[in-house]
Amino acid sequence: MCLEKILQRLFSTFAEGWPGIGLLLQRILTGALLIRFGIMELRAASSPSAAIAQIIAAFAGALLVIGLWTPIVGTLIAVIELWVAANVSNPWISIIVAILGATVAMIGPGAWSIDARLFGRKHLGT
């Protein structure tokens, strides 16, 4: 089954209006946090495994901002951030970002996303 059919089955509609704006803001906030933490980790270069996890999370954050492959990326973010949370002394930010990633994966990208443009229902003109 192709990715288009899977995404259409996951999300019957892509939220518009205020709910869509809320999802856009949630994606931007989560993605910006991940990109910021990735840049901070590159500058600090504390350990290679932490740096790799944060760089992957930053790349996933960039995909989340544009709304591409949202269910996959949101799940990846949740898993990576829970792994990061288990390996740092203050895990709360990572736990919050993991929850944000998981909720975006569950709710969907919204109408203002590449996923909606690529995989949304097509309306045939008459």
Q: List, for residues 65-116, the tens digit of each pLDDT value.
A: 999 999 999 999 999 999 999 988 889 999 999 999 999 999 988 999 998 8
What is the reported pLDDT for 10? 64
The Cα-based distances of 73 to 18, 47, 126 in angstroms read: 23, 24, 36
Say which residues have a Cβ less than 8 Å from residue 124's Cβ, sequence separation at least 6: none
**Model-level pTM?**
0.85
Q: Are 97 and 30 in contact, with CB atoms under 8 Å apart?
A: yes
